[in-house]
Structure 1
C-alpha cells in the first residue's frame, strides 16, 4: 500500500477521535449531566495536565526503547477502553479522573503520529516540508467528519459521541501495528550520561536562546488554542437564550458552524510551503499570532444574525491561526534537532503547546471570566471576554518579532527551498 495513503489514513483517524467529542463535550456536560461550570473547567484542564509530561515521556521511550508505531498503537487501544467507560461515570469527580486517564493516553499520540510520519519520510526519501502538509490535511478532514457525524446524528448531548470515538480509537490502535517501523535511534548501551540514557538530552534545547524563546511562545499560543476549544461552542449555544437568535442555524447546529474552522485548516495547511518559501518561518509564526487577534476580535462583534459573517470569518481565520504555528513549529523542531532526539523534541513541543499552554489558558481564563465577565444571573459577557482574549493575542504578536531573532540556517533553508 502506498506510504502516503497509509499516513493519510493514520492522520484521518487520529483527529476523528478528537473531533468526535472535543467541541461538543461542553454541550454534553451542561445539558446532559447538569454539572457546574467550575467542574467543567477542571475536566478541560486534563488536556493540559497530561500534556505537561506525557508527550515528552513517551517521546523518550520512542527515542530510546520502543518503536514509535508500537507505542502509538498501544496508547490508542488503551484510550479506546477508557472512552468506552466514560459515559458510565455518574459523578463529576470520577469523570475528571477518567477523562484525565483518557488524556494521558491520547495526548502523546499527537507527537507520536508526527514521529511515525517523519520517520517514514526519511526511509522513503520524501521531503517533510513539501510532502507532510498534504498528508496532515487529512487529519483536519477527519476532525470535520467527526464533528458533522456527531452533529447531524444529533449526538452533541449524547454519550454516543464517546462510543464513536472509542470505536475509531480501537481501529486506529490495531492499524498502527501495520505502519512503517519507526525504531529507536538511540542505543540502549551507549556510553553516555544517565540523562542521555533516559533521553533527557532533548531538554538541553532550552539552553539555546532560539529554542527557549520558541518554546515560551509555544506555551502562550497553546493558551490561545485552549480558549477557542473551551468556549467557542458554548459561546454559540448561549445565543439560544435570546429570542431573536434561538432559531438561527448557528444556534441549532453550532458544531457545524465551528467546523468551518477545520475546513479552513485544510486550505491553510496546503498554503504553508508557499508561505515558508516566501516569508520564512519567523514571519509564518507571526502571521499565526495576528490571526489569533482576528479570531477573537471577530467573535467579540459577531452574532448569529446580521453578524454571522463575522463568526464565519473568525472560523476561516482560525485555519491560519492554528496551522501556521503548529505545523511550521513541528517543522522547525524537525529541522533544527538531530534525528536521535526527534521523538522527545516533538514531545517537548507538544508539552509546551498542549501542556503548560493549555493549563495556563484554563486557569487564567477561568479566573478572568468568573471574576470580571460573569453577570449576577451567571450569564457571560461574551463581547468583553473575546476582546480580552484578542488583546492578549495582540500583545504576543507585538512582542514576538523583537525577541525571536532566529535566522534561517542551512537545514531549514534547504528544506524550504525544495518544498
Structure 2
C-alpha cells in the first residue's frame, strides 16, 4: 500500500467514527434532558442503528459488490447524512426527532461496511495493515468526546450542537470519499441471481459451523452491548461524573492500544480465546458499573470504561478480520455487511427492545437504580460467554489467511 493511500484511508476512518461518536455517545442524555424522552423512547432512538444495519447488507450487496465503486457510494451516503444531521439538530420533541434519525441511520450504517471494504481491497495483508488504519477511527471517536467535554455541552444542555458538529464532519468525508482509492465492483461472469444481487450469497459462510456459532454469538453479545451504548452516558451523568463524554473517551484510548496489539494476540491466543476474552470483558465491565460510584468506588467506573478496548477489539475487530479471511475476494463487501447485520442489526435491535423497558422498570425518585440495571446485561454476557466456550470447537485454529499474514510479521 502506498503512503498516499494509507493517509487517505486513515483520514477516512478518523472521520467515519468521529461522525458517529460526535452525537451517539451523548444521545441518551440529549433525549432525556432536552426532549424529555423516556427510557423506552431512548431505546427506540438507538434502535434506528439496528434498522440501518439490517438494511445495510442489501445496499452493500446490490451496490458495492456488483454495480458501483464503493468509495463513490460512500461519498453520496455521507453527503446525504450531513443534511439529515443538520435537520436533526433543530428537531423539536421526540416525535420530530425520531423519523429523521431513522432515515439517517439507514444512510449511515452501510458506510461502516463500506469503509472496511474500501480498506480491505487495498491491502495485501489485512491482519497486519488493517489495525493501524482502523485505529484512526478510534482516535476520531476520542477526539469527538474530548471536544464535547471541553466545550461543556453536557452540563450546559447544548447537546444539539453535537449533531451540527457531526454534520460538518460528514460533509467533509462525503467530499473526501470521491478521492479515495478506486474500489470498483468485482467483475463476475455467469448469470446474476437474486441472492447475489442482494448480497445474500455471503450467507454461505454460515455453512461453516464455527463461523455459524460466532455469528450467533455476535447477535447475542450485542444484547448487553445495547445497555452500554444506550445508557452509559446517562448513568455517568446521574452518578455525578463531570465531563462524562470526555471521560468515556478513555474507552477509545484503551481500544487504540489493544487494536495495535491485535496481531500479537492472534499469534499467542488464536481466534477462540480472543473472542472469549472479549466476552469476559463485557461481564466485568457491567459488574464494575453495578458496584461503582463517584466516591470510594470511582475507580470501578473508570475500569468499566477502560475495559472497552478489550470488549470491542477482542470481539468485534477480531470478528471483522475473521470474516474477511473466510469470505474470499468475491464476497468481501457482502460478508462485512452480513456481520454488520448480525451485530448492529439483529443483536442491537433485541438489546434496545430489552434495555429500555428494564431501565424504565427501575426508575427512582433520584434517577434510576443502576446497581440492579447493570447486573442484567452482566448476566446475559456471562451466559453467552459460557455457551461460546463450550460449543466453539476451533480452539486456537485460525483461518489460513490470518495465519499466513501474521506469520509474515515475525
Q: Report TM bin, short chain.
A: over 0.9
Equivalent residues in 2 for 1:13-412 (5 A)?
Answer: 13-121=15-123, 125=124, 127-156=125-154, 157-158=157-158, 159-187=160-188, 190-240=190-240, 251-371=241-361, 373-375=362-364, 377=365, 379-406=367-394, 407-412=397-402
Distance 1:276 1:60, change over 3 A: farther
DSSP 3-state at the match of 2:225: helix
Counterpart-to-counterpart distance in 2, 1:314 and 1:66: 42
Counterpart-to-counterpart distance in 1, 2:131 and 2:360: 39
Q: Which runs of 5+ in 1 are unaligned?
A: 241-250
Given that residues 302 and 310 in structure 1 are in contact (C-alpha distance below 8 angstroms), is that contact kept between their aligned partners in structure 2?
yes
Counterpart-to-counterpart distance in 2, 1:408 and 1:112: 25
Counterpart-to-counterpart distance in 2, 1:409 and 1:44: 34
Matched positions, count? 402
DSSP 3-state at the match of 1:2: helix
Deviation of residue 409 (structure 1)? 4.1
Given that residues 225 and 322 in structure 1 are in contact (C-alpha distance below 8 angstroms), is that contact kept between their aligned partners in structure 2?
no
Deviation of residue 412 (structure 1)? 2.7
Once superposed, what is the RMSD of the aligned Cα atoms?
1.7
Counterpart-to-counterpart distance in 1, 2:249 and 2:219: 24
Distance 1:193 1:41, change over 3 A: closer
DSSP 3-state at the match of 1:21: helix
Distance 1:183 1:399, change over 3 A: same
Counterpart-to-counterpart distance in 2, 1:55 and 1:262: 27
Deviation of residue 203 (structure 1)? 2.1
DSSP 3-state at the match of 1:65: coil
Given that residues 55 and 107 in structure 1 are in contact (C-alpha distance below 8 angstroms), is that contact kept between their aligned partners in structure 2?
no
Distance 1:36 1:390, change over 3 A: closer
Given that residues 199 and 344 in structure 1 are in contact (C-alpha distance below 8 angstroms), is that contact kept between their aligned partners in structure 2?
yes
Deviation of residue 283 (structure 1)? 0.8
Given that residues 82 and 167 in structure 2 are in contact (C-alpha distance below 8 angstroms), is that contact kept between their aligned partners in structure 1?
yes
Counterpart-to-counterpart distance in 2, 1:193 and 1:87: 42
Distance 1:374 1:28, change over 3 A: closer
Deviation of residue 57 (structure 1)? 2.6
**Per-residue CA distance 1:44-97 (angstroms, 9 max, x = gap):** 111112111224432442111111111111111100000010122223223111
Deviation of residue 282 (structure 1)? 1.2
Q: Provide the TM-score with structure 2 as the length reference.
A: 0.94
Distance 1:59 1:378, change over 3 A: farther
DSSP 3-state at the match of 1:216: helix
In the other structure, the counterpart of 1:4 is: 6
Given that residues 60 and 343 in structure 1 are in contact (C-alpha distance below 8 angstroms), is that contact kept between their aligned partners in structure 2?
no
Q: Which runs of 5+ in 2 are unaligned?
A: none
Counterpart-to-counterpart distance in 1, 2:229 and 2:183: 32
Q: Provide the TM-score with structure 1 as the length reference.
A: 0.92
DSSP 3-state at the match of 2:333: helix
Deviation of residue 378 (structure 1)? 7.5
DSSP 3-state at the match of 2:283: helix
Counterpart-to-counterpart distance in 1, 2:58 and 2:344: 12
**Per-residue CA distance 1:305-363 (angstroms, 9 max, x = gap):** 21111111111111101111111101011111121111010000011110111111111
**Per-residue CA distance 1:163-198 (angstroms, 9 max, x = gap):** 1100000000100010001111143x6324342344
Given that residues 261 and 319 in structure 1 are in contact (C-alpha distance below 8 angstroms), is that contact kept between their aligned partners in structure 2?
yes
**Per-residue CA distance 1:114-137 (angstroms, 9 max, x = gap):** 00000111xxx3x21111111111
Distance 1:252 1:132, change over 3 A: same
Distance 1:71 1:256, change over 3 A: same
- Name segments (4+ residues, structure 1) moved above 4 Å: none
Counterpart-to-counterpart distance in 2, 1:378 and 1:341: 51
